[in-house]
Protein backbone atom coordinates (compact mmCIF):
# COMPACT_ATOMS: atom_id res chain seq x y z
CA UNK A 1 0.00 0.00 0.00
CA UNK A 2 2.87 2.39 0.73
CA UNK A 3 4.14 1.83 -2.78
CA UNK A 4 0.85 3.01 -4.29
CA UNK A 5 0.85 6.16 -2.17
CA UNK A 6 4.39 6.96 -3.34
CA UNK A 7 3.31 6.43 -6.95
CA UNK A 8 0.43 8.85 -6.51
CA UNK A 9 2.73 11.48 -5.00
CA UNK A 10 5.20 11.06 -7.87
CA UNK A 11 2.39 11.43 -10.41
CA UNK A 12 1.23 14.66 -8.79
CA UNK A 13 4.79 16.04 -8.87
CA UNK A 14 5.17 15.12 -12.53
CA UNK A 15 1.81 16.70 -13.35
CA UNK A 16 2.82 19.95 -11.60
CA UNK A 17 6.13 20.04 -13.46
CA UNK A 18 4.38 19.39 -16.75
CA UNK A 19 1.86 22.18 -16.05
CA UNK A 20 4.70 24.57 -15.19
CA UNK A 21 6.56 23.84 -18.43
CA UNK A 22 3.36 24.18 -20.47
CA UNK A 23 2.77 27.65 -18.99
CA UNK A 24 6.39 28.61 -19.69
CA UNK A 25 6.09 27.40 -23.32
CA UNK A 26 2.86 29.38 -23.85
CA UNK A 27 4.55 32.48 -22.39
CA UNK A 28 7.54 32.11 -24.72
CA UNK A 29 5.24 31.71 -27.74
CA UNK A 30 3.25 34.80 -26.68
CA UNK A 31 6.43 36.86 -26.32
CA UNK A 32 7.56 35.64 -29.75
CA UNK A 33 4.27 36.73 -31.33
CA UNK A 34 4.50 40.15 -29.66
CA UNK A 35 8.10 40.61 -30.80
CA UNK A 36 7.24 39.54 -34.35
CA UNK A 37 4.26 41.89 -34.56
CA UNK A 38 6.34 44.76 -33.17
CA UNK A 39 8.96 44.06 -35.83
CA UNK A 40 6.37 44.04 -38.64
CA UNK A 41 4.50 47.14 -37.46
CA UNK A 42 7.46 49.21 -36.36
CA UNK A 43 7.23 52.87 -37.43
CA UNK A 44 7.79 56.28 -35.94
CA UNK A 45 4.24 56.27 -34.56
CA UNK A 46 3.18 52.63 -34.67
CA UNK A 47 2.09 52.47 -38.31
CA UNK A 48 3.15 50.34 -41.23
CA UNK A 49 6.71 49.57 -42.28
CA UNK A 50 5.97 50.20 -45.96
CA UNK A 51 5.45 53.55 -47.64
CA UNK A 52 1.74 54.22 -48.12
CA UNK A 53 -0.97 56.81 -48.77
CA UNK A 54 -3.14 57.64 -45.75
CA UNK A 55 -6.90 58.11 -46.14
CA UNK A 56 -8.73 60.24 -43.57
CA UNK A 57 -12.53 60.34 -43.49
CA UNK A 58 -14.27 63.54 -42.42
CA UNK A 59 -17.99 62.90 -42.18
CA UNK A 60 -20.99 64.52 -40.55
CA UNK A 61 -21.11 67.79 -38.68
CA UNK A 62 -17.67 69.28 -38.22
CA UNK A 63 -16.75 70.35 -34.72
CA UNK A 64 -13.44 71.06 -33.01
CA UNK A 65 -12.16 67.47 -33.09
CA UNK A 66 -8.90 67.08 -31.15
CA UNK A 67 -8.62 63.41 -32.11
CA UNK A 68 -8.74 64.26 -35.84
CA UNK A 69 -6.21 67.06 -35.40
CA UNK A 70 -3.82 64.72 -33.55
CA UNK A 71 -4.31 62.08 -36.27
CA UNK A 72 -3.43 64.62 -38.98
CA UNK A 73 -0.35 65.69 -37.03
CA UNK A 74 0.74 62.06 -36.61
CA UNK A 75 0.34 61.53 -40.35
CA UNK A 76 2.35 64.69 -41.04
CA UNK A 77 5.22 63.52 -38.81
CA UNK A 78 5.28 59.92 -40.10
CA UNK A 79 8.04 59.21 -42.59
CA UNK A 80 6.13 56.25 -44.07
CA UNK A 81 3.10 58.29 -45.22
CA UNK A 82 3.89 59.75 -48.65
CA UNK A 83 0.52 61.41 -49.45
CA UNK A 84 -2.94 61.92 -47.94
CA UNK A 85 -6.49 61.54 -49.26
CA UNK A 86 -9.17 63.45 -47.34
CA UNK A 87 -12.54 61.80 -47.93
CA UNK A 88 -15.06 64.55 -47.11
CA UNK A 89 -18.83 64.12 -46.81
CA UNK A 90 -20.10 66.90 -44.58
CA UNK A 91 -22.78 69.59 -44.61
CA UNK A 92 -20.48 71.82 -42.55
CA UNK A 93 -20.23 72.64 -38.91
CA UNK A 94 -18.77 75.14 -36.49
CA UNK A 95 -16.44 77.89 -37.65
CA UNK A 96 -13.85 77.09 -34.98
CA UNK A 97 -13.89 73.38 -35.84
CA UNK A 98 -13.58 74.01 -39.58
CA UNK A 99 -10.81 76.56 -39.12
CA UNK A 100 -8.74 74.38 -36.77
CA UNK A 101 -8.92 71.40 -39.14
CA UNK A 102 -8.21 73.71 -42.11
CA UNK A 103 -5.02 74.96 -40.45
CA UNK A 104 -3.84 71.42 -39.67
CA UNK A 105 -4.51 70.32 -43.27
CA UNK A 106 -2.50 73.35 -44.52
CA UNK A 107 0.45 72.27 -42.31
CA UNK A 108 0.09 68.76 -43.71
CA UNK A 109 -0.07 70.04 -47.30
CA UNK A 110 3.18 71.94 -46.77
CA UNK A 111 4.96 68.62 -46.16
CA UNK A 112 3.03 66.09 -48.26
CA UNK A 113 0.61 66.05 -51.21
CA UNK A 114 -3.01 66.25 -50.03
CA UNK A 115 -6.06 65.49 -52.19
CA UNK A 116 -9.64 66.10 -51.05
CA UNK A 117 -12.21 63.62 -52.34
CA UNK A 118 -15.77 64.93 -52.04
CA UNK A 119 -18.54 62.37 -51.67
CA UNK A 120 -22.11 63.62 -51.71
CA UNK A 121 -21.63 66.96 -49.96
CA UNK A 122 -18.86 69.35 -48.91
CA UNK A 123 -20.48 72.61 -47.87
CA UNK A 124 -19.52 75.34 -45.43
CA UNK A 125 -16.77 74.03 -43.10
CA UNK A 126 -16.51 70.86 -45.24
CA UNK A 127 -15.63 72.96 -48.28
CA UNK A 128 -13.25 75.08 -46.20
CA UNK A 129 -11.33 71.93 -45.25
CA UNK A 130 -11.37 70.70 -48.85
CA UNK A 131 -9.97 74.04 -50.03
CA UNK A 132 -6.92 73.46 -47.79
CA UNK A 133 -5.92 70.48 -49.95
CA UNK A 134 -3.69 70.71 -53.01
CA UNK A 135 -6.38 69.28 -55.27
CA UNK A 136 -10.15 68.68 -54.96
CA UNK A 137 -11.86 65.77 -56.73
CA UNK A 138 -15.66 65.77 -56.86
CA UNK A 139 -18.22 63.74 -58.75
CA UNK A 140 -20.68 65.30 -61.19
CA UNK A 141 -23.49 65.06 -58.65
CA UNK A 142 -21.49 66.21 -55.59
CA UNK A 143 -22.60 69.41 -53.91
CA UNK A 144 -19.53 71.56 -53.25
CA UNK A 145 -19.29 75.14 -52.08
CA UNK A 146 -20.77 77.86 -49.92
CA UNK A 147 -18.30 78.79 -47.23
CA UNK A 148 -20.32 80.81 -44.76
CA UNK A 149 -24.02 81.11 -44.24
CA UNK A 150 -26.58 82.99 -46.29
CA UNK A 151 -29.99 83.37 -44.72
CA UNK A 152 -32.83 84.74 -46.80
CA UNK A 153 -36.05 85.93 -45.27
CA UNK A 154 -38.81 88.08 -46.70
CA UNK A 155 -39.27 91.63 -45.42
CA UNK A 156 -43.02 92.11 -45.40
CA UNK A 157 -43.07 95.21 -43.16
CA UNK A 158 -44.17 97.35 -46.12
CA UNK A 159 -47.16 95.10 -46.74
CA UNK A 160 -48.24 95.34 -43.12
CA UNK A 161 -48.84 99.12 -43.52
Instruction: Provide the annotated active-site residues.
Output: 124
Residue 138 CA to residue 144 CA, distance in Å, equals 8
Q: How many DSSP H helices and E strands does the chain contain? A: 5, 5
Hey, which bits of the chain come out as E strands? 52-59, 81-90, 114-123, 135-138, 143-145
H or E element, residue 103: helix 95-111
Amino acid sequence: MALRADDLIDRRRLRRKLTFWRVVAIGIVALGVIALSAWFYNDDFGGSTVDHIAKVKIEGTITEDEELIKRLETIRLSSKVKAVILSIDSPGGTTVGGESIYEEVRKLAADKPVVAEVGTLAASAGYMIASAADHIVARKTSIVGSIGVLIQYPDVSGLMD
